[in-house]
Structure formats: structure tokens, C-alpha cells
């Protein structure tokens, strides 16, 4: 793992967990001193976080977190819906009943952190079952953004799972893709509150 990758992962984790306050101004020099490196790997990590919409760059001033609003959350959900509908379509075609039955156990989590909750795990495990890496990768990023919006809007660092997951799996086990899609839409249309 490169130095830039290590810095990127460390900063991303700190942003996600709230270890860096949303209004904190982050500078290249400060980070270079903190990580005991030159500015080059720091700049590379920061550019990547800007590209992924975790940070906003202010030339000659530094970087701050991209604050996600309730509107952003709803837009994230709008993008997630067609992607997750595709996931369900692929899963219904490619996945065995045994794999579906294992899905609920595999996605279970006692973790209340929105980034590692049963909800996040369920949607990511479902995406894995689709067999499409690009879908998984896209959803992983969208779920992280949705979790950030949840934390910023509700000021909660914890979340609970959802009752829709069991029903989605049950509908898939009954080969009722249409009803699974209806339940998925209900799941993703929940507000931040």
C-alpha cells in the first residue's frame, strides 16, 4: 500500500467516523506534518477525497468536508434505487435459494455505526451476490454517502436495521421479483428521521 493510499484511508475513516469535525479546515502542510511525509502523497490523497465528494477544495486555504444535506440524501437514494433494482434482477437470475437463505445471516451485524450496520451490510452482501463488481463498488460509495448524510442530519452516530430485508429475501425465495422490487422501493424511500 502506498503512502498516499494510507493517508487517503486514514482521512476517509476520520471523516466517516466524525473524528474530523465538518467545519475543520484541513491543510496539506498540517497533514504532511501529522503523517511525517512530503506534501505530494498528501495532495494525492486529498485529490481523491475531493473526487469522491468527501472534501471540497478551497485554493490557498485548504479543504473542508462536503456537507451533505437532506436533499443530497434524497438524491443519493434516487441513484441507489435503479442500481439496487438491477442488483435484485441479477440476484434473482444468478443466486441459489441456499445463497439467499445465508444472506440474512451474513449481513447481520450488532454494529450500530451507520457505515457498518446491518442495513449497510445487507445491501452490500446483496450487491456481492449480483456478481457485478461495478454495482458493488458504486453502491459501497453511495451507502457511505447516505450514512454520512444520516450522521450529519440526525447528529446520530448509530442506526438500527430495517424490517424490509427479511421481506425482500422472502420474495426472492418465492421467485417474486416484482414484489421484492416493491419492498426495496419502500426500504429506500424512508426519510432520514
At residue 148, what are phi and psi to the nearest 5 degrees?
Answer: -60, -45
**92 and 60 together in one domain:** no
- Same domain for 43 and 79, yes or no, is no
Q: Are residues 111 and 132 in the same domain?
A: yes
Decide which of 18, 46, 65 is a domain's last residue: 65
- Please write the tens of the pLDDT for every residue from 15-29: 877 788 888 999 999
Range name among 45-59, 64-78, 107-121, 162-176 with the lowest pLDDT average: 107-121
CATH number, domain containing residue 144: 1.20.120.530
* 48 and 84 part of one domain: no
97 plus 167 within the same structural domain:
yes
pLDDT digits (tens, 9 = 90+) for 133-170: 999 999 988 888 887 777 766 655 545 556 789 999 99
Q: What is the pTM of this model?
A: 0.74
Q: What is the pLDDT of residue 42?
A: 96
- Contact between residue 130 and residue 87 where contact means Cβ atoms under 8 Å apart: yes
Same domain, 61 and 74: no
Q: Phi and psi of 86, rounded to 5°?
A: -65, -40
**pLDDT band for position 193 (50/70/90)?**
very low
Residues β-bridged to residue 58: 62
Is 193 within the bounds of a domain?
no
pLDDT band at 179 (very low <50, low <70, confident <90, very high): very high
Instruction: Answer yes or no: are the C-beta atoms of 89 and 178 closer than 8 Å.
Output: no
DSSP for 86-140 reads HHHHHHHHH--HHHHHHHHHHH-----STTSSHHHHHHHHHHHHHT-HHHHHHHH
Q: What angle do CA 51, 55, 63 make, to 5 degrees?
A: 120
Q: Which band of pLDDT confidence, cut at 50, 70 and 90, is reported for residue 81? A: very high
**Looking at the 3D structure of the chain, how many domains does it have?**
2
Among residues 54, 2, 58, 173, which one has the least CA distance to residue 104? Answer: 173
Domain C-terminal end among 34, 65, 96: 65
One domain, residues 55 and 94: no
Q: Which of 16, 45, 65 represents a domain boundary (last residue)?
A: 65
116 in the same domain as 57? no
Vertex 144, ends 63 and 42: CA angle to 5°? 35
**Residue 9's CATH number:** 1.10.10.10
158, 155, 182: which is closest to 168 by C-alpha? 182
Query: Contact, 7 vs 42, CB < 8 A?
Result: yes
Rounded to the nearest angstrom, the gap between the alpha carbon of residue 7 and the centroid of all alpha carbons in its chain is 19
Q: Go through the chain and tell me how many residues it has.
A: 193
Amino acid at each position: 500500500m502506498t503512502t498516499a493510499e494510507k493517508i487517503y484511508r486514514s482521512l476517509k475513516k476520520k471523516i466517516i467516523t466524525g473524528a474530523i469535525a465538518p467545519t475543520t479546515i484541513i491543510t496539506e502542510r498540517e497533514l504532511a506534518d501529522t503523517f511525517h511525509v512530503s506534501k505530494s502523497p498528501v495532495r494525492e490523497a486529498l485529490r481523491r477525497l475531493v473526487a469522491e465528494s468527501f472534501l471540497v477544495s478551497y485554493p490557498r486555504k485548504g479543504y473542508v468536508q462536503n456537507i451533505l444535506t437532506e436533499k443530497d440524501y434524497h438524491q443519493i437514494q434516487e441513484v441507489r434505487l435503479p442500481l439496487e433494482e438491477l442488483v435484485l434482477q441479477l440476484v434473482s437470475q444468478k443466486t441459489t435459494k441456499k445463497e439467499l437463505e445465508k444472506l440474512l445471516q451474513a449481513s447481520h451485524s450488532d454494529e450500530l455505526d451507520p457505515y457498518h450496520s446491518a442495513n449497510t451490510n445487507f445491501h452490500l452482501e446483496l450487491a456481492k451476490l449480483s456478481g457485478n463488481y461495478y454495482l458493488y463498488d458504486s453502491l459501497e460509495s453511495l451507502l457511505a454517502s447516505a450514512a454520512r448524510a444520516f450522521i450529519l442530519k440526525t447528529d446520530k452516530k448509530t442506526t438500527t436495521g430495517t424490517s424490509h430485508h427479511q421481506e425482500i429475501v422472502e420474495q426472492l425465495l418465492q421467485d417474486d421479483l416484482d414484489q421484492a422490487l416493491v419492498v426495496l422501493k419502500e426500504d429506500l424511500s424512508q426519510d432520514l428521521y
